[in-house]
Chain A
Amino acid sequence: MSGSSRLNLFPLVTQTAFLLPILVGLIFTAAPALGYLSVAGHRGFSLDPLRTLFAHPSLPGALRSTILSGAGAASASLALALWIAATVHGTRAWRVIEFSLAPLLSLPHAAFAIGFVFLISPSGWLMRAVSPSLSGFTYPPDWITAGDPWAISLTLTMILKETPFLLLMVFSGLNRLDVKRTVWIGRSLGYHRLRIWTRLLIPQLYPMLRLPLLAVLAYSLSVVDLAYIIGPSLPPTLSVLIDRWFNDPDIAYRMVGAAGAVLLFVLTLLFIALALLAEQLIKKAAAGRLLNGRRKSPFEPLAGTGSWYMMLVLLINTTSLLVLMIWSIARVWRFPDFLPSLLVISTWTDNWGRMIEPLGVSVAAALASCAISCVLVVGCLENELTLEYAKQPSIDRRSLWIVFMPLLIPQISFLFGIQVLLVFLHLDGTWLALIWIHMVFVLPYVFLTLASAYRSYDRRYSQVGLTLSWSPLKTFARIKLPILIKPILFSLAVGFSVSIAQYLPTLYVGNGRFATITTETVSLAAGSDRRIIAVYALSQVILPLLGYAAAIAIPFMMHRNRQMMRN
Chain B
Amino acid sequence: MPAVLRIVFVAIFFVIFQTAPSRAEDTWQEIVATAQGQTVYFNGWGGSEVINEYIRWASAEAKTRYGIAVKHVKVSDIGDVVSRILAEKRAGRTSGGSVDLLWINGENFQAMKTNGLLLPPYTQRFPNFQLVDFENKPSTRYDFTVEVDNQESPWGMAQLVFIYDSGVVADPPQSIPELLDFCKRNSGRFTYPAPPDFYGTTFIKQALLELTADREPLYRPVDLERFQDITRPLWDFLDELHPYLWRSGRLQPKSAPEMKRLLGDREIFISLSFNPAEASNAITTGELPDTVRTYVHRDGTIGNTHFVAIPFNASAPEAAMVFANFLLSPEAQARKSDPTVWGDPTVLSMAKLSIEERRLFENLPRGIATLTAEQLGTVILEPHPSWVSAVEKEWLNRYAR
Contact = CB atoms under 8 A, between A and B. Distances in A.
Interface of A: 37-40, 56-58, 60-61, 121-123, 139-140, 142, 144, 147-149, 228, 232-235, 244, 246-251, 254, 331-332, 334-335, 342, 351, 354, 416, 419-420, 423-424, 426, 428-429, 507, 511-513, 515, 519-520, 522-530, 532
Contacts of B248: 142
Contacts of A142: 187-189, 246-248, 267
B400 interface: yes
Contacts of B106: 249
Given A419-B87, A529-B285, A523 B76 contact: yes
Given A335-B266, A513-B71, A526 B98 contact: no
Given A142-B246, A342-B286, A524-B46, A234 B252 contact: yes
A123 B265 contact: yes
A476 to B, nearest CB: 43
B79 interface: yes
A350 to B, nearest CB: 9
Contacts of B285: 529
B90 A233 contact: no
A250 B115 CA distance: 10
A126 B198 CA distance: 32
Given A121-B265, A512-B41, A249 B80 contact: no
A515 B265 contact: no
A419 B80 contact: no
Given A149-B250, A234-B194, 10 more contacts: A39-B89, A58-B396, A144-B247, A234-B400, A247-B80, A511-B84, A513-B71, A522-B76, A528-B258, A528-B287
Interface string B84-104: 101111111100101100000
A526 B287 contact: no
Interface string B7-29: 00000000000000000000000
A38 B106 CA distance: 24
Nearest to A503: B76
Interface in B233-270: 246-248, 250-258, 260-262, 264-267
Query: Can you list the 4 inter-chain pairs with the closest CB atoms, starting with the nearest?
Result: A528-B257, A527-B47, A142-B188, A123-B265
B107 interface: yes
Interface of B: 41, 43, 45-49, 56, 71, 73-77, 79-84, 86-93, 96, 98-99, 106-108, 110-111, 115, 187-189, 194, 196, 246-248, 250-258, 260-262, 264-267, 285-287, 289, 389, 396-397, 399-401
Contacts of B84: 419, 511-512
From B87, B92, B196, B287, name the one whose CB has the most chain A CB atoms within 10 angstroms. B87
B389 A233 contact: no
B222 to A, nearest CB: 13
Nearest to B386: A250
Contact of A527 (B92, B107, B246, B257): B257
A507 B250 CA distance: 32
B247 A246 contact: no
24 contacts: A57-B396, A58-B396, A58-B401, A121-B265, A142-B188, A142-B247, A144-B250, A232-B251, A233-B253, A235-B396, A235-B401, A246-B80, A248-B196, A251-B115, A334-B265, A424-B92, A511-B84, A513-B98, A515-B74, A520-B46, A523-B46, A528-B257, A529-B48, A529-B49
A526 B47 contact: yes
A339 to B, nearest CB: 15
B125 to A, nearest CB: 27
A480 B382 CA distance: 70
Nearest to B393: A57
A139 B269 CA distance: 10
Contacts of B289: 334
B81 A512 contact: yes
A249 B108 contact: yes
A278 B93 CA distance: 48
Nearest to A421: B91
Contact of B286 (A147, A332, A511): A332
A146 to B, nearest CB: 9
B79 A248 contact: yes
Contacts, number: 172
A428 B107 CA distance: 26
B307 to A, nearest CB: 14
Given A334-B289, A423-B88, A247 B77 contact: yes
A235 B86 contact: no
Given A254-B83, A423-B88, A513 B258 contact: no
Contacts of A530: 261
A429 B115 contact: no
A233 B98 contact: no
Contacts of A416: 87
A25 B176 CA distance: 48
B103 to A, nearest CB: 13
Given A512-B75, A513-B98, A423 B91 contact: yes
Given A234-B251, A254-B86, A530-B261, A512 B115 contact: no
B401 A61 contact: yes
A527 B49 contact: yes
Nearest to A512: B73
A60 B396 CA distance: 12
B193 to A, nearest CB: 9
A511 B111 contact: no
A234 B246 CA distance: 13
Given A40-B115, A420-B91, A524-B47, A249 B251 contact: no
B98 A58 contact: no
Nearest to A57: B397
Contacts of A139: 266-267
Residue of B196, B251, B285, B289 with highest tally of chain A CB at under 10 A: B251
Contacts of B401: 57-58, 60-61, 234-235
B83 A39 contact: no
Contacts of A527: 46-49, 257
A530 B288 CA distance: 12
B100 to A, nearest CB: 11
A512 B91 contact: no
Nearest to B115: A251
A39 B86 contact: yes
A379 to B, nearest CB: 34
Nearest to A137: B266
B243 to A, nearest CB: 12
A142 B187 CA distance: 9
Nearest to A428: B98
Contact of B267 (A37, A123, A519, A525): A123
Contact of B266 (A123, A512, A520): A123
Nearest to B92: A424
A511 B84 CA distance: 8
Given A334-B289, A527-B49, A122 B87 contact: no
A528 B261 contact: yes
Nearest to A520: B74
A248 B115 CA distance: 14
Contacts of A520: 46, 74
B93 A233 contact: no
A342 B264 CA distance: 15
Contacts of B399: 234
A526 B197 CA distance: 12
A252 to B, nearest CB: 10
Given A39-B90, A251-B111, A528-B258, A512 B98 contact: yes
A242 to B, nearest CB: 12
A169 B260 CA distance: 41
Contacts of B92: 424
A174 to B, nearest CB: 41
Nearest to B258: A528
Contacts of A423: 87-88, 90-91, 93
A40 to B, nearest CB: 7
A347 B262 CA distance: 21
A250 B84 CA distance: 13
